[in-house]
């Protein structure tokens, strides 16, 4: 069983020893290790059973430190960083050789972000290296938004989880890159595209990939519960089905088998509840989970992205 508490000094000790630690962020909990240590990064892939062709995000503590790890920061990246960092934004930038190829899956760009969580920012400020940190869950499963989620699934494989409470955003960061002067969204996430476009104008969204992702979190199958998860207009409803809805219950399914992401229709509340509610439904004694898409605006875009990929199960 992993130790769960708020002892930053213990987290520093474990990380300095080349091991992995569960860390809180505003988006989801991460499984962190020294991003500059290949052996430590290898442990992330081993613990998560994550394929090495799926790159990682590195986390640092300030905008000034980003230049330690990348060769170039475009003007639009600087403007977005100043506006939205710390926060649920990740920048995909040309990496320096100090970043191991394992972190980027051999790609020339590295994903960098500054998490908006006081405990983890304090931790990062105390370290001489950035942290590579994908979500702290078995590869492909629902991302964790509490320390107990991490412990339930990885507690027998890691030593320590830094407990920062429940994640405020609840879905992963938005990842953007830059092609010439164009801003490209590689993963929809906790920062709405509308807010990005207010700063830099129109953006382009990149398609998902089955085996050749250009950035973290781009695989078609991800975030999936163990139970079969379906989104369909036509369903044979019964008491063995659970429902994950946006703001209205569905007739034909027992109310106790239903969870609403936000009865008041608030996208931020829906995002915060998404993964924890999927976990609750997955633990029920039912045969199938039925879901519905949200309006394709604001954080509804990122939530729908997660729902869509949760239906693609191996």
pLDDT digits (tens, 9 = 90+) for 95-127: 999 999 999 999 999 999 999 999 999 999 999
Is the pLDDT at 68 greater than 90? The verdict is yes
Of all residues in the chain, the percent with pLDDT exceeding 70 is: 96
Q: Given pLDDT bands bounded at 50, 70 and 90, which one contains residue 244?
A: very high
Is the pLDDT at 181 greater than 90? The verdict is no
- The separation between CA 66 and the C-alpha centre of its own chain, rounded to angstroms, equals 20
Is the pLDDT at 26 greater than 80? The verdict is yes
Q: Given pLDDT bands bounded at 50, 70 and 90, which one contains residue 25?
A: very high
Residue-level length of the chain:
314
Rounded Cα distance, 270 and 255, in Å: 18
Is the pLDDT at 169 greater than 60? The verdict is yes
Give 111's contacts (C-beta < 8 A, 6+ positions apart): 55, 56, 57, 58, 90, 91, 92, 104, 175, 215, 216
pLDDT, average across residues 267-282: 96
- Structural domains of the chain, ranges and CATH numbers in brackets: 3-205 (3.90.870.10), 228-310 (3.40.50.11030)
pLDDT, average across residues 278-306: 95
Q: How far is CA 53 from CA 101, 110, 213, in A?
A: 11, 13, 7
Is the pLDDT at 237 greater than 70? The verdict is yes
The pLDDT value recorded for residue 252 is: 87
Is the pLDDT at 246 greater than 70? The verdict is yes
The pLDDT value recorded for residue 233 is: 77
Under 8 Å between Cβ of 92 and 111: yes
Q: To which H or E segment does residue 9 belong? A: helix 8-16
Give 96's contacts (C-beta < 8 A, 6+ positions apart): 68, 69, 70, 71
Q: To which H or E segment does residue 112 belong? A: strand 109-113
Question: Which carries the bigger pLDDT value, residue 271 or residue 235?
Answer: 271
Of all residues in the chain, the percent with pLDDT exceeding 90 is: 84
Is the pLDDT at 211 greater than 70? The verdict is no
The pLDDT value recorded for residue 236 is: 80
Q: Given pLDDT bands bounded at 50, 70 and 90, which one contains residue 232?
A: confident
By C-alpha distance, which of 7, 13, 24 is closest to 165? 24
The pLDDT value recorded for residue 214 is: 78
Give 66's contacts (C-beta < 8 A, 6+ positions apart): 60, 73, 81, 91, 93, 112, 114
pLDDT, average across residues 161-179: 97
Is the pLDDT at 12 greater than 90? The verdict is yes
Under 8 Å between Cβ of 237 and 253: yes
Rounded Cα distance, 145 and 314, in Å: 23
Is the pLDDT at 196 greater than 90? The verdict is yes
Question: Which carries the bigger pLDDT value, residue 314 or residue 196?
Answer: 196
């Amino acid at each position: 069983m992993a130790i769960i508490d708020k002892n930053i000094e213990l987290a520093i000790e474990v990380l300095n020893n080349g091991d992995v630690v569960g860390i809180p962020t505003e988006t989801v909990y991460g499984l962190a290790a020294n991003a500059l240590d290949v052996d430590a990064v290898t442990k992330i892939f081993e613990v998560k059973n994550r394929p090495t062709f799926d790159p990682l995000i590195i986390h640092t503590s300030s905008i000034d430190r980003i230049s330690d790890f990348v060769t170039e920061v475009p003007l639009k990246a600087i403007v977005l960083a100043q506006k939205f960092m710390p926060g649920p934004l990740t920048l995909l930038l040309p990496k320096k050789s100090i970043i191991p190829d394992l972190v980027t899956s051999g790609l020339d760009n590295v994903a960098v972000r500054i998490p908006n969580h006081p405990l983890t920012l304090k931790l990062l400020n105390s370290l001489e290296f950035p942290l590579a940190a994908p979500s702290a869950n078995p590869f492909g499963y629902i991302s964790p938004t509490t320390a107990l989620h991490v412990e339930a699934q990885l507690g027998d494989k890691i030593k320590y989880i830094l407990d920062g409470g429940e994640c405020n955003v609840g879905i992963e960061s938005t990842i953007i890159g830059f092609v010439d002067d164009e801003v490209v969204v590689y993963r929809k996430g906790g920062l709405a595209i509308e807010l990005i476009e207010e700063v830099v104008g129109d953006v382009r969204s990149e398609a998902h990939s089955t085996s050749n992702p250009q950035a973290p979190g781009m695989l078609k199958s991800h975030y999936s519960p163990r139970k079969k998860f379906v989104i369909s207009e036509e369903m044979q409803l019964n008491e063995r089905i659970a429902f994950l809805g946006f703001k209205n219950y569905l007739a034909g399914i027992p109310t106790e088998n239903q969870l609403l992401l936000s009865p008041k229709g608030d996208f931020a509340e829906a995002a915060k509840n998404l993964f924890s509610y999927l976990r609750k439904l997955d633990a029920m004694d039912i045969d199938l989970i039925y879901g519905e898409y949200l309006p394709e605006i604001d954080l509804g875009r990122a939530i729908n992205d997660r729902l869509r990929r949760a239906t693609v199960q191996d």
